[in-house]
Every structure is written in C-alpha cells, then in structure tokens.
Chains A and B, each alone.
Chain A
Amino acid sequence: MFRKLHEPEAGALTIDIDGVPAMAEPGESVAAVLLRQAEPWSRLTPVSQSKRAPYCMMGVCFDCLADVDGIASVQTCLRPVCDGMRVARQIGKRTIGS
C-alpha cells in the first residue's frame, strides 16, 4: 500500500510483526512500518472485530493501537521503532494484564 521514497540506509533496524521480520529506519514510528506491510492493519475493533489501520498518524484517532513488546493498546504512531521490537496486531478487546 505504502512504500518508502528511498531505500533504508545503513543502520536499518529489524522489528518483528506477528512473527514476520520487517525493515525499519531509526526515528520512524511503528505505525509507519505497519503501513508498508502487505497487511497494513493494526487491530480488530473490540465491538465488531473489523480491521483498523493507522490513520491520523498524530496520536488522535487511536486506530493504530497494537501490542508492542507485550503491552497492549500502544499508540503505534507515537512509538519510535527500536531494533528487535516485537509488535503484535491487537485482536478485539484487550485482556486485563496484557
């Protein structure tokens, strides 16, 4: 759906999205990386289980929520990537303690 205008330079990072490695650049957000994937969605809604993808990219719409390093409901547009980060798309209602 989206692609970068340039090739990531040396020093690129790898993050894990639902078990699939994804290339990322220092300084970009997790949501930006999600949008470049073949499946760009970030979560299924708690009510109707319909797909949502990052939308506003500025911390307002909450559509980009995902599980990051074991913490659910992280606003991925506000979270810079770091090497080895584990991202899981969030499915429906969050479970307490996750």
Chain B
Amino acid sequence: MRADVVVIGAGVVGAAIAYGLATRNVRVLAIDGGDRDFRAANANFGLVWQQGKGLDMPAYQQLTRGSVELWPNFSAELADASAIDVHYDRSGGLSICLSEAEFETQRTTLLRLHNQLGGAEADWEMLDRSALVRLLPTVEFGPDVVGASYGPDDGQTNPLRLLSALHAGLLRRGGALRGGSTVHAVHSDGSGGFTIEFGSERVSAARVVIAAGLGSKALAAQVGLDIPIRPQRGQILVTERLAPFLPIPMQGLRQTREGTVMIGSTRDDPGFDNSTTVEAGAWLSARALRRVPALRDTMLVRQWAGLRVLTPDEYPIYAESQSHPGAFVAVCHSGVTLAAAHAALLAEAIAAGRLPPSLDAFHQRRFDVPQAA
C-alpha cells in the first residue's frame, strides 16, 4: 500500500487534516484506532468559539479567529462534500458571569486579549443583566446572573455530525480511511519516506502526520519529536429534548438543534480515566441551575466523560521533525473550533511539505526552554 500522506488518527483533528488533503487531490490515507481508545472527538461539547481564547499567545488567538472566520464556508463545503449537515450556527456566544467579580475578571481578560491582538476593532461586548435579558427574552436567568460577555462570531456545531462529515467528505473526495487499526510503528524507509505499521500491515508514504490525540506522544517519539501532552478529564451532562428556548450558546450550557441541553464541563486530572463521577454530575447540575433555574425538573438522559489533550501551556503543537523531515505532528485541544483551519492552512502546508511561519509559535521547542532555578 502507498499514499502521498498518511494521517495517523482520524478524530476531529486527523480527519480535518485528511479531509483538507483529499480536497487538494493529495493521495491520503487516514488510519483510525479502536473504538475503546480515548476519543476526545466523541466527547466534545460542540462550541465553535474564539471569545476569551489565546491569552498571552497572540498566534493562537490569530489562529482561532482565522478558523472561526473560515467556519461558515468550511461547513458549507463540508456539507457539499459529505451530504451531512453539521448543524453549525454562527449564533453568537455568551459567557455568563455569576458575580460582579466574575464580570470584571471577564472584562479584563477580554480587554487584555484585545490589546494583545493589536489594531483590530473590538468584536465583543460586556452585557449587563438587562441587556442580557433583552438579547434572550425566552430565558429566565437565575438571580446570581449579573451579566455576560457576548461574542457575535462565536457559535456551535454538532461535534458528532462534524466527525462523521469529515470521514464521509474524506472518502468522497478520494481519500482512504482505515478504522480499528492501531499504529504501532513509524519509521524512515531509508529513501526520504516513511513506513507505517499497524496490525500485520504496513503502508508507505512520502509524509506522515501524527494526529493521534493522547496516543501521539509514543508515535512522535519514533520520529524524533518529544511532545509533552497529558490528559485532562472533562464531564458533560445532557438533558431530554426540550422545545427551543436557548438560541445562543453559553460557555457550559447550550441547546442543540435536536432540543437537548448540554451542560459542561468539568476539569480534573485522574490520568487515563474517562469514567464519570457523581460529584461532577452534581456540580454541573448546580452550576446550570444558577444560570437557568427552570431546568430544575428537566430529566438528564446521559453523563459522559472525555479526556482533553493538553500541552503544558494548553495551546496546540504543530511541528515537523528535524531528524525526520516529512514527519509532522498536530495535537491540540479545541479540535472542533480549529477544524476549519486544520482543513485549510494546515492541510495546505502539509501538502506543500512545510509549515508556514504563522505556525512557528506552535513548535514544541517552546517547551524546551530551561526552567529557571
């Protein structure tokens, strides 16, 4: 078997890159792992979001904004390629503040982000409670809600539909996808290309992209890339289907197009453990009720957990190996928001064989700086 590019991992990151390569007529094979692997793509909350992201890393703020900008076209083209509607709404997004202190912290954060970006017009605003009520007259907010920040470009999608659409789009654009196949070895083939081994099979490729989420560390080490990543657990609740009442998603609370309400999400670090906990369910419920008390009697139908893929500064790693040119790694949190950028500029770069200067800041060498004593 031969391919121009093999992408290891077909979660939302690998699948977006592979889909982007296929749309550029690159002969691409995406190799996906087993059903029981840790799959952040299957546990995602589904926000397409820029508000509040990228503090102290302007390159990430730029990347996120660029991706959000691309999302309307990206989702339309993906629907065309896959015949799957990913339920994307650029509805705007809210970050609810439950105290005046929270409100001020949020304002300060957004202001700092804005100043770090430089030049651009402010595209967010702080809403006091009455402005929030005017924006969402169908929602009865809890008494602790003092206001919110509002980002008009933020929005939401159905992450499971997104993943299916990327897989279908990849196939329909001429790419190949192998499921249930855990890659155990990647090495140089001695003539500038790579051999990728999975099960008892092997495939040759001119280039290889490691986008295997938490499985990326071990694979990247085989091509001379040491990437520091760790799991962080996040838990989410989902309710029964309700008549539409929440047209604008909030951080941690959104209504899907089907009517269910998703309530997220927690952060803790139990290692490679994606079990759910009663404590998290209680905490999430209580937090949602402070925002929208009328959810009180609503039935929860499911709780799940997923593992985020985090680097030490929680920003992505995009890098090409120095010792193995042609081997790339792409790992990140926020694979849904970044999917449009991954399918465009990252796929373009990998097709061209080198990462652009705009992605320099994401090389994992940023973690190599010796720690001060």
Residues of A within 8 A of B (CB): 46-47, 71-73, 92-98
Contact = CB atoms under 8 A, between A and B. Distances in A.
Interface stretch (B31-39, B290-298, B365-373): B290-298
Contact of A71 (B245, B258, B297): B297
Contacts of B245: 95-96
Given A47-B241, A96-B243, A97-B140, 20 more contacts: A46-B240, A46-B241, A46-B259, A71-B297, A72-B297, A73-B297, A73-B299, A93-B242, A93-B243, A93-B259, A94-B242, A94-B298, A95-B242, A95-B245, A96-B245, A96-B295, A96-B298, A97-B294, A97-B297, A98-B297
Contacts of B259: 46, 93
A86 to B, nearest CB: 16
A63 B260 CA distance: 17
A95 B243 contact: yes
Contacts of A46: 240-241, 259
B86 to A, nearest CB: 19
Contacts of A47: 241, 258
21 contacts: A46-B240, A46-B259, A47-B241, A72-B297, A73-B240, A73-B299, A93-B241, A93-B259, A94-B240, A94-B242, A94-B243, A94-B298, A95-B242, A96-B242, A96-B243, A96-B245, A96-B294, A96-B298, A97-B140, A97-B297, A98-B297
Interface of B: 140, 240-243, 245, 258-259, 292, 294-295, 297-299
A92 B241 CA distance: 9
B144 to A, nearest CB: 18
Contacts, number: 35
A89 B299 CA distance: 17
A96 to B, nearest CB: 5
Nearest to B244: A93
Q: Is the interface of A mostly helix, strand, loop or mixed?
A: loop
Q: Sort A-B residue pairs by CB-CB distance and give the 5 closest, nearest first.
A: A97-B294, A46-B241, A93-B243, A95-B243, A96-B245
B295 A94 contact: no
B297 to A, nearest CB: 6
A93 B258 CA distance: 10
Contacts of A95: 242-243, 245
Contacts of B258: 47
A59 B373 CA distance: 61
Contacts of A92: 243
A28 B170 CA distance: 55
Contacts of A96: 242-243, 245, 292, 294-295, 298
A11 to B, nearest CB: 31
A63 to B, nearest CB: 13
Residue of B240, B245, B292, B295 with most chain A CB atoms under a 10 A cut-off:
B240
Nearest to B296: A97
Nearest to A97: B294
Contacts of B299: 73
Contacts of B240: 46, 73, 94
Nearest to A73: B299
B98 to A, nearest CB: 20
B293 to A, nearest CB: 9
Nearest to A95: B243
A24 to B, nearest CB: 24
Contact of A94 (B140, B241, B292): B241
